[in-house]
Amino acid sequence: MAETLEGTFESVKSVPLPLGELEDGTHTLEVTAVSESGDTTKEKFMFGIDTTAPKILLNDPVTGQTFDHETGKIKFSGVTDPSVKVNVRDSVSGKSFDLMAGNDGRFEGELTFPTEEAMLKLSLSAEDAVGNASETSIELCSDALGHIEGVKLKAVNAEGKTAELADGASSLEAGEYSLELCGVLKGGGEIGLNSSSLTEWQVISAEGNAELKADGAEVKLTVHEGDIGMLSAAYKIHDQGAYNVVSMFGKKSTTEWTDNPGESGGKPGEGEIGALKNTKLAVTAKGPGGEDLSLDVTYTGSVSYNALKHVVEGMKTNKKTKADLHFELKGTIMDYADASFKVKNNLNVPVKVKNGAEIPLPDKKRPVVYLSLKPKKGIDGNWKKAVKAANKELKKQAIGFEIRPYDLSKLSARPTLKLNGPGTKVSKAEIALDQLTVKLKKTDFSYTIDNGSVVLKGLGNYTGTYTCTP
């Protein structure tokens, strides 16, 4: 390649040389200068071109490998170009380390990463002395994933305060929140599940347009004024089962739930339920004079869930079930309307067990209680219209609650069992709950028989175990 330039040294200070078509390797540049009298002089320069990025061959670890949740230590080994720096970076925590390859290109080292998350998403990049770089990535799983027995959902508000969102509760008002789904480990402790590919997020809006943005470990929820809906976070343990948490948001969903074991201290027949407490049912309809028709609802009754179903005071019941949900209502509209509560899906616990795996209950089958109003006789026609308008709104405000399985270990009376054959099969099981005799269905329990003792294990609406000795 040759190029001739005319002019003086003062006007020609540099000469651009197009080298893009040259191959990698060593090249020689020859410069010839010719004076006005024809005298020449030559100069040669040696230079090299290197556009090849160093390769990264990683021996250990490999994608899918587990790491120690207790220590976070991971051993790395591999091969790249001689004397190249290999950077290892966790995209979840942002923490990074450098490993130097020797003259033979081999690199190795033990690195320690944060263990708060269930997944490590590591990128490895290698860069040579002239800036050529290459990158590869791997994903590692915490060995703690095999010890998860449940999940928790946490929210951090704009002020940096954290709150746990109880399953089935309505906890979030308008605002921006950072969300974290955590796995609860057997024996104590938690592990973050946001970064796991098995974690799924969903927002279902009944009104408005709440926004959910999930980018790896960073999950953001924005609830606008007037938004009403449901937030769901699930960790899918397999195609047919998952651990999940569902929480409501919006001005009509400020329900606060607490566990209420009942007033009689866990005697037979006492179940557990998330108790409704100090709920505000919002109504946009107004009375003839502009009166606020919203209702304050207070949960007032003890729970005696007998694993048959929950019923509300005022509902028609049979001899086997009695009202165990009691409410107190306050509001202007109560002077003009009679109120009654209705319960739907009042037998369904949050999960069902199928083939040994817990299957979360679909949202449409979760227990809810809703309020129905009926105008009182003899009231003004304008108030009748106001009551009907308020009732129309209240029917849309079903309040979700959680039924927890009855614990068989709380039984004070021995179950009545019928065995087929000499202690080989339990064909019938009955338990005494709240002075009632309840026949367990085949889907309510499993059992084992050892040396004549029968161990009943609760399923579905029942949990815990009870050992019947000979």
Q: What is the CATH number of the domain that holds 117?
A: 2.60.40.10
157 assigned to some structural domain = no
pLDDT for residue 441? 78
Task: Say if residues 289 and 329 touch (Cβ distance below 8 Å).
Answer: no
pLDDT band at 456 (very low <50, low <70, confident <90, very high): confident
Question: Are residues 288 and 373 part of one domain?
Answer: yes
pLDDT for residue 255? 34
Q: Which residues contact 462 (CB under 8 A, 6 or more apart)?
A: 307, 405, 406, 407, 408, 440, 444, 445
156 assigned to some structural domain = no
Task: Say if residues 272 and 266 touch (Cβ distance below 8 Å).
Answer: no
Least confident of 262-276, 303-317, 392-406, 434-448: 262-276
- Please calculate the CA angle 237-240-242 and round it to the nearest 5 degrees: 40
pLDDT for residue 283? 80
Domain boundary among 144, 177, 206: 144
383 assigned to some structural domain = yes
pLDDT for residue 107? 93
Identify the domain containing residue 423 by its residue range: 407-468
Question: Are residues 385 and 451 part of one domain?
Answer: no
Q: Give the Cα separation of 262 and 137 in Å (integer).
A: 54
Question: Are residues 269 and 350 part of one domain?
Answer: yes
462 assigned to some structural domain = yes
Closest to 236 measured CA to CA, from 203, 202, 201, 198 = 198
46 assigned to some structural domain = no
227 assigned to some structural domain = yes
Residue bearing tokens 């809810």: 368
171 assigned to some structural domain = yes
User: pLDDT tens digits for 101-127?
Assistant: 999 999 999 988 888 888 888 999 998
Question: Are residues 131 and 204 part of one domain?
Answer: no
Q: Which residues contact 225 (CB under 8 A, 6 or more apart)?
A: 174, 251
Average pLDDT over residues 128-144: 87
Q: Give the Cα separation of 275 and 444 in Å (integer).
A: 24
Task: Say if residues 434 and 268 touch (Cβ distance below 8 Å).
Answer: yes
**Residue 220: pLDDT above 90?**
yes
- Any alpha helices (H) in 261-399, and if so which ranges? 381-394
Q: Give the Cα separation of 442 and 408 in Å (integer).
A: 15
Q: Which residues contact 421 (CB under 8 A, 6 or more apart)?
A: none
Question: Are residues 192 and 81 part of one domain?
Answer: no
**Residue 76: pLDDT above 90?**
yes
427 assigned to some structural domain = yes
Domain boundary among 249, 275, 290: 249
Task: Say if residues 415 and 307 touch (Cβ distance below 8 Å).
Answer: no
Q: Give the Cα separation of 235 and 238 in Å (integer).
A: 9
Q: How many domains does the chain have?
A: 4
Region of residue 333 (left: phi > 0; alpha: psi -120 to 50; beta: else):
alpha
Question: Are residues 305 and 232 part of one domain?
Answer: no
Q: What is the mean pLDDT of the chain?
A: 77
Question: Are residues 461 and 437 part of one domain?
Answer: yes
Question: Are residues 267 and 393 part of one domain?
Answer: yes
Question: Are residues 368 and 413 part of one domain?
Answer: no
Strand partners, 87: 98, 125
